[in-house]
Amino acid sequence: MSYDNPYTRAPPVKNAASSSLGASNPLHGWLPRKVYAKQVREAMDGDVNPFTQQPLSESYKKILQARKKLPVFAQMEEFLKMFSENQIIVMVGETGSGKTTQIPQFVCFSDLPHTKGKMIACTQPRRVAAMSVAKRVADEMDVQLGKQVGYSIRFEDMTESGTTFMKYMTDGMLLREAMNDPELSRYSTIILDEAHERTLSTDILMGLLKALAKRRSDLKIIVMSATLDALKFQKYFSVSTDGTPAPLFKVPGRTHPVEVFYTQEPEPDYVEAAIRTVLMIHRAEDPGDILLFLTGEEEIEDACRKIKLEADDLMNQDPDSVGPLVCIPLYSSLPPQQQQRIFDPAPPARTPDGPRGRKVVVSTNIAETSLTIDGIVYVVDPGFSKQKVYNPRIRVESLLVSPISKASAQQRAGRAGRTRPGKCFRLYTEKDFMTELEEQTHPEILRSNLANTVLELVKLGITDLVRFDYVDAPAPETLMRALELLNFLAALDDDGKLTHLGSIMAEFPLDPQMAKMLIVSPEFRCSNEVLTIVAMLSVPNVWIRPPNQRKEADAAKAMLTVPEGDHLTLLNVFNNYMQNKHDKNWAWNNYLSVRALVQAENVRSQLLRIMERFELDLVSTDDQRKLYIGVRQALCCGFFMQVAHKEGEKGAYLTVKDNQVVALHPSCGLETQPEWAIYHEFVLTTKPYIRTVTDVKPEWLLEFAPQYFDMSAFPDGETKRALVRVQSKRARKFEVANGNSKPSDRPVKKARK
DNA sequence: GAGCACTGC
């Protein structure tokens, strides 16, 4: 042993199981966090499951043999020593090292969380990963999933209180837990996996955990990442004031080499070049499947058509040397059944001795992290992806086709080497790779609207948002924009303190505008309807519009459209879906996505539970006219900062205050162009559009958002003149009717003009 | 008269 004998340092901790079973418990006498690899190996090789006292199964023993071959297994001793001696560890492990499954188990053996009523958490950016890894680890530990080993994701808590001590979960879920228990007192060790992906939640968790580690000396933290980011995290989690980096634990991967090729000259048309490269591989390279990265659905479907045509041509011209090629599109909005096609085997040769078939998967970034396809030998990387960008000046998030980072290019190349040595064709020059590509993709926190995040942080008790210890600090303007919005919504007071309303808003997994709208909706007697609308706005687009059936799809949509606004149309769609549940084909016949509608049902019931918790009543009325007006008014209470005013007769709109020229999105179902329109999102595609739009009355805006529509602080222009006209008209009316009473003092329910 | 990179609560 190269470190002190741990037995001399601390008394044994009472082992819950050992009290009754005594020495038959393999963990008897073990000291938490003072455990040797030798002990662990003996326990693993024994006949009794140390965590359940049950006999270990044959399948356990079989899996154990495979686990022992993982690179990380050879480093158990080194890991346990580092874990014993440090509070925070940064760990790098390439793909295939086994870190996600093995390290948490090593921690279980060392930390013995079950003996102290604690848990080990291991966070993942994605739900499927949390679920599938938990399943795998439950098998490896020979326990039932949901007992000692479980997972926790939105809509599904697969854990058992008091039994589960190893919990895989989404990073967002741990953040939610932190909002109600800032000390994260249920956990003795927290492992942040895939930290290099830098999701918003992971970034916030890193900030929280760094501070928490100082308060809770008993808490251990492991940050797992890809190699390139390790030093940054080591420095960030520096343990002492002199800046000594946190210790690094390194595990080699188990992948095959990938040969990388670059183009001689930059390619002016990357889609064309990509198609050409795919066909070149098909004609000239050894058998093996191809993965091509493109940026979006349309580009992918288009490329698939072209590849198919050209490949068929090639095969017909030269059937003796060119085999069949099957082209499979892959992007997230594809139905799961079609996504499964990526796992189909390559097509067989057309004749017994003919050339072998090949499969090409044409994918978005989804194949870079979320999905792995075995058998890929060739990767074609044009070097672009759609990325979210946020412009705080005009408060707009949009998707832009942008060059990828070096880290991303490396990840893409790695996809070729999972089963055997592969090749990666980069459709840019080596010089461009070296000089033009950024090292890392900018973390999400630098590219997002932070309204949600800021509300979460305030709820977490972070008072000084600007000086919070971020791994990468967002632009001050982005924070200001978020604070401003939350202040207008009355979630934060003028000192930036959380209001009672704000603390309820933070409990809803919704954007603050939607949370506000939902919370006020009982006052408008329409919370039942607003709840539905908010759920529908939280799921992917429900409308399906197949390229060859556009007319039919549009006609079906017209049947469900409510002329006063798209929000009401969403309500109508959901209600019709619920009424027609007996008819399995209803959604399909109406060109609607069943998947999205089922998701909306799920979200709706989750939100309803939260409403019940805060005693927000579910109310409605039979008078549809009143109901629709109530919904539109509630909408104004949340989205008053997203209003556009029609300018002139040509259909041009200007956003209120920001004065952006926008057009109604063609998907908009409004009967006429209203003078004042509230919109759910601003999208920047071929030109600036506002999407999901509802007709509102200017009086409502003045009434329900007086601070925002304070004319003394309003930019001059046609919008202001129109609002001032409305205001003076109202004032005259109220003077005539009520003497001096100011409109804003009137109760909400009498607000209708 | 157009889209929906990808996640997550």
| Pick from A280, A92, A613, A599: nearest CA to A587 | A599
Domain assignment present for residue A682? The answer is yes
Which residue gives the smallest C-alpha to C1' distance to B9? A509
- In this complex, the residue with its CA at the shortest distance from the C1' of nucleotide B5 is A386
pLDDT at A193: 94
* Residue A493, phi then psi, degrees to nearest 5: -85, -175
Q: Given this model, what pLDDT does residue A228 score?
A: 76
**Which pLDDT score is estimated for A153?**
92
Q: Which of A637, A660, A636 is nearest to A647 (CA)?
A: A660
Closest CA to A251 of A235, A230, A221, A232: A230
Report the pLDDT value the prediction gives residue A746, as an integer from 0 to 100.
Answer: 42
Instruction: Specify the pLDDT at position A739.
Output: 61
Burial of A711 (0-12, 13-18, 19+ CB in 10 A): exposed
The nt closest to A371 (CA vs C1′) is: B6
Same domain, A55 and A174: yes
Beta strand residue intervals within A79-209, DSSP E = 88-93, 119-124, 149-153, 156-158, 166-170, 187-192
Nucleotides of strand B within 7 Å of the protein's CB atoms: 1-9
Q: How many domains does chain A have?
A: 4
* A9 pLDDT higher than 60: no
Q: Are residues A709 and A732 in the same domain?
A: yes
Residue A222 lies inside a defined structural domain of this protein: yes
> Which pLDDT does position A2 carry in this prediction?
46
Q: Which residue, of A445, A466, A501, is where some domain finishes?
A: A445
Could you tell me if residue A22 is inside a domain? no
Domain boundary (A445, A468, A487) is at A445
We report the CATH number of the domain holding residue A570 as 1.20.120.1080
pLDDT over threshold 80, residue A16: no
In a domain, A120, yes or no: yes
DSSP structural state of residue A197 = G
The reported pLDDT for the residue numbered A745 is 44
Same domain, A138 and A223: yes
Mean pLDDT of A331-347: 87
Between CA A713 and C1' B4 the distance (Å) reads: 38
Q: For residue A644, which of A544, A725, A565 has the smallest C-alpha distance?
A: A565
In the predicted structure, residue A11 carries a pLDDT above the cut 60? no
Q: What is the dihedral of CA A411, A413, A419, A421, to 10 degrees?
A: -140
Q: Are residues A417 and A285 in the same domain?
A: yes
Q: Of all protein residues, which has its CA closest to the C1' atom of B1?
A: A666
Nucleotide in closest CA–C1' contact with A370: B6
pLDDT in tens, A372-402: 888 899 999 999 999 988 888 888 888 888 9
Mean pLDDT score of chain A, rounded to an integer?
Answer: 89
pLDDT at position A744 is 47
Could you tell me if A60 and A181 lie in one domain? Answer: yes
CB of A304 within 8 A of CB of A329? yes
Q: In what order do the strands lie in the sheet with A187-192?
A: A156-158, A149-153, A166-170, A119-124, A187-192, A220-225, A88-93, A248-251
Query: How many angstroms is C1' of B7 away from CA of A470?
Result: 20
For A404-437, give one letter per residue: b (16+ CB within 10 A) or e: bbbbbbbbbbbbbbbeeebbbbbbbbeeebeeeb
Answer yes or no: do A537 and A656 share one domain.
Answer: no
pLDDT in tens, A469-487: 999 999 999 999 999 999 9
Angle between helices A76-85 and A37-45 (to 10 degrees): 130
Residue A499's pLDDT is: 96
* Domain co-membership, A561 together with A471: yes
Q: Report DSSP letters for A421-442, one per residue.
A: -EEEEESS-HHHHHHTS-SSPP
Residue A320, in any domain of the structure: yes
A586 and A649 share one domain: no
pLDDT recorded at residue A752: 33
Residue where the block lists tokens 């060859």: A548
User: What does the alpha-carbon distance between residue A223 and residue A232 come to, in Å, rounded to a whole number?
Assistant: 11
pLDDT in the model for residue A544:
87
Q: How far is the CA of A567 from the C1' of B5 (A)?
A: 25
| Domain co-membership, A627 together with A481 | yes
Residue with more model confidence, A252 or A499: A499
- Residue A286 confidence (pLDDT): 93
User: What pLDDT score does A23 carry?
Assistant: 52
Spanning CA of A129 to C1' of B8, the rounded length in angstroms is 13
Nearest nucleotide to A667, CA against C1' atoms: B2
Reported confidence tier of residue A678, pLDDT bands at 50, 70, 90? very high
Question: What is residue A17's predicted lDDT score, i.e. its pLDDT?
Answer: 45
Q: What is the pLDDT of residues A209-263, one digit of tens each?
A: 999 999 999 999 999 987 778 899 999 999 777 779 999 999 988 888 999 999 9
Distance A519 CA to B3 C1' (A): 32
Q: What is the pLDDT of residue A740?
A: 57
In angstroms, the CA of A599 and the C1' of B2 are apart by 25
Strand B neighbors by CB, 7 A: A 125-128, 153-154, 170, 172-173, 176, 199, 201, 295-298, 331-333, 364-366, 370, 385-388, 399, 452, 509-510, 538, 541, 543-545, 550, 554, 665-667, 683, 685-686
Q: A746 in a domain, yes or no?
A: no
Residue written as token pair 């949009």: A398
The pLDDT value recorded for residue A736 is 73
For residue A571, pLDDT beyond 80: yes
Instruction: Indicate if the pLDDT at residue A264 is higher than 60.
Output: yes
> Contact A531/A618 with Cβ under 8 angstroms?
yes
Please, which pLDDT band fits residue A751 given cuts at 50, 70 and 90?
A: very low
Domain containing residue A395: CATH number: 3.40.50.300
Same domain, A411 and A342: yes
User: pLDDT of A151-188, one tens digit each?
Assistant: 999 988 999 999 999 999 999 999 999 998 999 999 99
How far apart, in whole angstroms, are the C-alpha atoms of residue A217 and residue A213? 6
Q: A516 lies in which domain range? A: 450-639
SS3 annotation, A251-289: ECCCCCCEEEEECCCCCCCHHHHHHHHHHHHHHHCCCCE
Among A639, A657, A685, the domain-final residue is A639
Assigned domain for A144 exists? yes
Query: Do residues A563 and A669 share a domain?
Result: no
| Helix extents (H) in A34-170 | 37-45, 58-67, 76-85, 99-111, 127-140
In chain A, % of residues over pLDDT 70:
95
Average of per-residue pLDDT across A669-691: 89
What's the CA–C1' distance between A34 and B5, in Å? 46
A722 φψ region: left (φ > 0), alpha (ψ -120 to 50), beta (else): alpha
Residues A237, A273: one domain?
no
Question: Quick check: A300 pLDDT over 60?
Answer: yes
Token representation of residue A484: 């401003």
pTM of the model: 0.90
pLDDT of residue A749: 41
* CA nearest to nucleotide B2 C1': residue: A666
